[in-house]
Amino acid sequence: MKAAADSAGALTKTHSSRSTVTRMGAGTLVAGPLGLLAGAAARKGKTQTVDTRELYLLIEGDDWADLIKCNPNHGETARAFAQQINVAARNAERVKGDRVLRVQDLTERLAAVEADRSGIESAELARAEL
- Tens of each residue's pLDDT in the chain, 130 residues: 999 999 988 878 776 655 566 766 766 776 666 665 665 666 666 778 888 899 999 999 999 999 999 999 999 999 999 999 999 999 988 888 899 999 999 999 998 888 888 888 888 899 999 8
Q: With 0.75 as the threshold, say if the pTM is over it.
A: no
Distance CA 2, CA 88 (A): 9
Q: Are 43 and 21 in contact (CB under 8 A)?
A: no
CA distance 28 to 42: 13
User: Backbone phi, then psi, for 42, in 5-degree steps?
Assistant: -80, 95
Q: How many residues does the chain have?
A: 130
Q: What is the DSSP string of 46-93?
A: EEEEEE--EEEEEEE-SS-EEEEEE-GGGHHHHHHHHHHHHHHHHHHH
Euclidean distance between CA atoms 82 and 74, whole angstroms? 12
